[in-house]
Structure 1
Amino acid sequence: MDKINNLSNKKKAQLYRDNYKNWKEYGLENNGFFIIFNGILEHKKLKKISGNALRLYIYLGIYSKNMTGEVWHSNQRIAEYFGKSERTIRGWMKELEDINLIKRMRLEYDGEPHVFLQPYDQGKTRKKD
C-alpha cells in the first residue's frame, strides 16, 4: 500500500486503469457475465426502475442463458435468495414486465414459470478510446 501512496496521481490512475482492464478481460474470458447496454440510460428505463427491481434484473441476467435470455428460477428460489416474500418478488417482476425488460410465461399448464429477458435499444455507439 505504501508503494501506491508514493506514486503520482497520473501513475495511480494508470495502475487503476490497468487493474480494471485486466479484471474485465479475465472475467469475460473465464466467467459468466451479464451485459447492460447504454440504451438503458438513454431511453430512461434506469430512471423508471426501482432499486429492488434493478437488483432482480441483474440477478435474472446473471442466471439467464447468454444467447436466449431465458431464466427458470421459481419465485420461491428468488425470494429465498433476497430474503423477501414471493409476493414481493412478484411485484418486482411486474415492474420489470411493465417497462418491457422481461416477459413471464408458463410453457405448460401449472408448469414452472419462465422469464425471458427482453431486448431494448442498445443506445448510441460510443467512440473508440
Structure 2
Amino acid sequence: MTKIEPVEVECPNCRAAGVYDRYSSANVTLDPTLKDRVTDGSLFVYECPNCGDQIYVETSCLYHDTQKQLLVQFSPGAKNAEELKGIFDTLNNGGVNLTLNDVGYKMRLVPNLSDLRRRSSLLTMNSMTAS
C-alpha cells in the first residue's frame, strides 16, 4: 500500500506556501513509477510553484516491493536495527499483519537517501541488518 500525506510547507527561498506530497510508504509493485522516483531521488523533492526552487525533503518512508519481498525503511539519522520497528508499525496501521516470523521478506534500515536509492535497486539483501 502506498500512503501519501499532503504536508503544508514554506519555500525557504521565496517564502511562498505550498504542499509537499509526503510518501510515508511507497509500494513499487502497485506503482512501478515510484521505484524510478526513489532511484533518481525525485520522490523526496519539493518544487516551489512560485519560484521553481527545488529542495530535498528527508522524511521517513517505507519502500515496499512485494515481487522481490523487499522492505526498506528509510529513517533519516537511524542508527540501529531496533528502528526497523517502524516497518511493522507502518504496515500494521495499513491493515497488513507482518511479523519477524514471516518467511521470505528481506528487510533493511537505511539512514540516508543515497543508501535508500542504492538498496532499492538490489535484488538480494541480508535480512534484518542495519546499514
- Same fold? TM cut 0.5: no
Which is bigger in relative contact order (C-alpha 8 A, separation at least 6)?
1
**Bigger radius of gyration among the two:** 1
TM-score (normalizing by structure 2): 0.29
Structure ranking higher in helix proportion: 1
TM-score (normalizing by structure 1): 0.29
